[in-house]
Amino acid sequence: MKRLSVDERLARNKFESNDETPHIIIDRQECRNCVHKACIYSCPAERYQLNADEELIFDHVGCLECGNCRLVCEKLRESKPGYKWNYPVKGGGVIFRQG
Amino acid sequence: MSDEHFPVIVVGAGLAGCAAAYRLAKAGYDVLLLERGKRPGGKNVSGGRLYSYALEALMPGEWLDAPLEREVRREMIMTMTERGAVTVNGLLSPNHSGTSYTVLRSKLDGWLAKKAEQAGALVMTGVTATEIVIKDGKACGVLVGDERLEADIIICADGANSLLAENAGITNKVTMENIALGVKLVVGLPEQTINDRFNLSGEDGAACLMVGDCTKGLAGGGFLYTNKESLSLGLVVDASSIKSAKTNIADMIEELKEHPAISPLIVGGQLLEYSAHLIPEGGLNMMPKVFDNGLMIAGDAAGFVINSGLTLRGMDYAILSGIAAAETAIKSIQAADYSAEQLNQYEVMLRLNVLSDMETFKKVRGFMKDTAGLYTAYPKLAETIFKSIFTVDGRPAKRISKVMINSILSHTSVWQLIKDGVKGALSL
Ligand SMILES: Cc1cc2nc3c(=O)[nH]c(=O)nc-3n(C[C@H](O)[C@H](O)[C@H](O)COP(=O)(O)OP(=O)(O)OC[C@H]3O[C@@H](n4cnc5c(N)ncnc54)[C@H](O)[C@@H]3O)c2cc1C
Ligand code: SF4
Ligand code: SF4
C-alpha cells in the first residue's frame, strides 16, 4: 500500500465541520513565545503548522478530536486567555464510519 | 426543553454509556442518553478486540446478534526490528473459553444504542453536554449550551478526554504521563484475501500485537486485527514520549505499513479511514474518585483500562462499569437516596471485577514505560537468535545454546537482562 500524506488520509474520512466556529482556539501571537511547539508533532492530523513567517497556523477542519494537543500544550490545558479546547457542538466535526 | 427532569442522565453513548442506559431502560427506569456525535459510535475509536464475557453479562444471549466482525482464533505476537520480525503464531482450539471478537465501533455502538432505545431509553444525538451542574454539593443536572437538563443521578461516561468531570472539578486533570495516543488505519480487503493471508477459515479472525521497531523505540506497541472485510492496523504510543522525542506518530503509522512483515498483509488494500483517540493508561494511579453526590463516572472517563503489553482492555471494563453504575442507580432510586454514601455501592461492585484486575496489573505500566529494552534491544535479540539458528553458511556449526548466549551478550548485558526479567516477572 503506498504511503499517504495526512491530508490524503483525512480525505477518506467524513467531516461535517462548521467553518465559522472552530472548536479549538489558539493565539498566534502568543504562540511565538512557545518554546516547545509540541502541538506541531503531537497532532496526528497535522493541524498545527508553521507558515513561511514562522507563525503558527491552526486549521480545525480535519481535526480527529483526539484531545492530544490539549495535553501537550499548557496554554490549551489551562484555557489561558486566547486558548480554548472544546468538542464541536451540534454533531459537527469528524464522523467515523468504521471506528 | 428547558428544566426537564429525569431520574438518570447518562452522558456519552460509548460502550459504558450505552451499557448503563440499556440496563436502566431494561429494568423499566426512565433514562436520557446524550451523545455529542451525530450518531452513536460516530466519534469512537478502538483497536479493537472485545472480550465477549462482558457482552454476555450485559445482555445474556442477545449479544449474539450484535455486529461483531470475527471471532479471534489466531493469536500472533510479533517482535519487530527495522527490517525483520519474529512472530509467535498460535491457533486456539474451538470452544475455548474467554472468546473475543474484533469489532468496529461505529457499527457496534450504533447497535447498542438502538437496543437501549428499544428498551425505552431516550437517546439524543448531536448534543454536547457542556457542564455538570452542581448544587449544594450534589450533581443535579447537565448544561447543553444554555439549556439545563435536571436529574437525580448523572452517569458521566464521556470517554478518555473527559472534559465534563474535569471541568466540574470532580476529577483531577489527566496528564499526558498517564495517557497514550492511538492512531489507526482501517484498510479494506476482500474477505477471501484476508482469510488466505492470515491462514483463516470461515469467519475466524486473527489478532496480532507488535512490539519493537513499530514505535521507533518509544513506549507502546502496534496492533493488527482482521475484520470481515477490512484490517485494523494501528499504533498506541505513550503521549509524553511523543512530546519529548519530537516524533510524529502520523508518520510512524505510514512507516509501519511499509515494514516487510506488514506490507504483504495489506498490499492492494484501500484505506477506508484514518482515526486517532486517547487511551487512559495510568491505571489506579490516575483513577479519580469514581462517584460523588448524585454522580458516577464510568468507562475511560474513570480510567478503567489495562494495557498489559500484550492485551489492551478498556471496552469490557467500560461495559462492566456501565452495568455497575446502572445497578447502583436503580438501588439509589429505590431508596430515594442519591448521596455519595449510597452511591458507594458502585465502587463496591467494581471491586469485584474492574478494580481487582487493575490492582493485579498496577505495576505493568511502569515496567512497560521504563524498560527501554522491550522496544529495541530485545526484538533485535530475538531476530539475532533466529538468524543464528537458521543461518547455514558452510562455516563450522555451533551448538544452539552457544548461539543463544553469544546473541544475548551482543545485545544487552546479562545484568540488564536479569534485572528486566525480575522486574517483568514481578509486574506482569
Ligand atoms: C487505538 C485504540 C485501541 C484500543 N484497543 C482496544 C482493544 O483492542 N480492546 C479493548 O477492550 N479496548 C481497546 N481500547 C480502549 C477502548 O476503546 C476504550 O476503553 C473504550 O472505548 C471506552 O469506552 P467508553 O464508553 O468509556 O468511552 P468512549 O467509547 O470514548 O465513549 C465516550 C462517548 O461519550 C461521548 N461524549 C464525550 N463527551 C461528550 C459530551 N460532552 N456530551 C455528550 N457526549 C459526549 C463521545 O462522543 C463518545 O460516544 C483501544 C483504544 C484505542 C484508542
Ligand atoms: S503548544 Fe500551544 S502554545 Fe505552543 S505553539 Fe502549540 S498551540 Fe501555541
Ligand atoms: S484534537 Fe487531536 S487531531 Fe485535533 S488538533 Fe488536537 S491533536 Fe490534532
Query: Tell me: the pLDDT tens digits for B237-256?
Result: 999 999 999 999 999 999 99
List the domains of chain B with CATH numbers: 5-68+103-174+286-360 (3.50.50.60), 177-280 (3.30.9.90), 376-427 (no CATH)
Give the whole-angstrom CA distance, residue A42 versus residue B75: 31
* Cβ atoms of residues B301 and B12 within 8 Å: yes
What is the distance in A from the centroid of ligand 2 to the CA of A33?
9
What is the distance in A from the centroid of ligand 2 to the CA of A61?
18
What is the distance in A from the centroid of ligand 2 to the CA of B42?
28
B1-18 pLDDT, tens per residue?
A: 446 899 999 999 999 999
Which one has a higher pLDDT value, B73 or B400? B73
pLDDT, position B3: 60
Q: pLDDT class for A44, splitting at 50, 70, 90? A: very high
Residue A3 amino acid letter: R
Chain B hits for A99, CB-CB cut-off 8 Å, are 41-42, 44-46, 104-109, 273, 275
Name the residue ranges covered by the structural domains of chain A. Answer: 6-88
Average pLDDT of the segment spanning A37-41: 96
Give the whole-angstrom CA distance, residue B374 versus residue B372: 5
Record the cell numbers describing residue B316, joined without a space.
469490557
Nearest CA to ligand 2 atom 5: A37
Nearest CA to ligand 3 atom 8: A43
B251-303 pLDDT, tens per residue?
A: 999 999 999 999 999 999 999 999 999 999 988 888 888 999 999 999 999 99
Q: What SS3 state is found at B175?
A: coil
Per the document, the length of chain B is 428
Give the whole-angstrom CA distance, residue B311 versus residue A24: 33
Residue B158 amino acid letter: D
Q: pLDDT class for B402, splitting at 50, 70, 90? A: confident
The values of phi and psi at residue A53, to 5°, are -90, 15
The end-to-end CA distance of chain B, in Å, is 51
Nearest CB to A6 within list B173, B250, B273: B250
To test the pocket of ligand 3, the residue of A65, A84, A85, A87 to mutate (highest count of ligand atoms within 8 Å of its CB) is A65
* Cβ atoms of residues A3 and A9 within 8 Å: no
Nearest Cα residue to B128 out of A21, A99, A1: A21
Give the whole-angstrom CA distance, residue B56 versus residue B59: 5
The values of phi and psi at residue A91, to 5°, are 75, 10
Chain B hits for A94, CB-CB cut-off 8 Å, are 42-43, 275
Record the cell numbers describing residue B146, joined without a space.
444554555
Test B42 with A95 for CB contact under 8 angstroms.
yes
Average pLDDT of the segment spanning B368-375: 80
| Orientation angle between helical segments B400-411 and B414-427, nearest 10 degrees | 90
Give the whole-angstrom CA distance, residue B285 versus residue B139: 25
Quick check: B344 pLDDT over 70?
A: yes
Test A98 with B186 for CB contact under 8 angstroms.
yes
CATH number of this structure's domain A6-88: 3.30.70
Which one has a higher pLDDT value, B35 or B309? B35
Q: Residue B55 class from Cβ within 10 Å (0-12 exposed, 13-18 middle, 19+ buried)?
A: buried
Q: Could you give the percent of chain B with pLDDT greater than 90?
A: 74
Instruction: Answer yes or no: is the C-beta of A64 below 6 A from any ligand 2 atom.
Output: no
Closest-approaching ligand to the CA atom of B310: 1
A65 touches chain B (CB under 8 A): yes
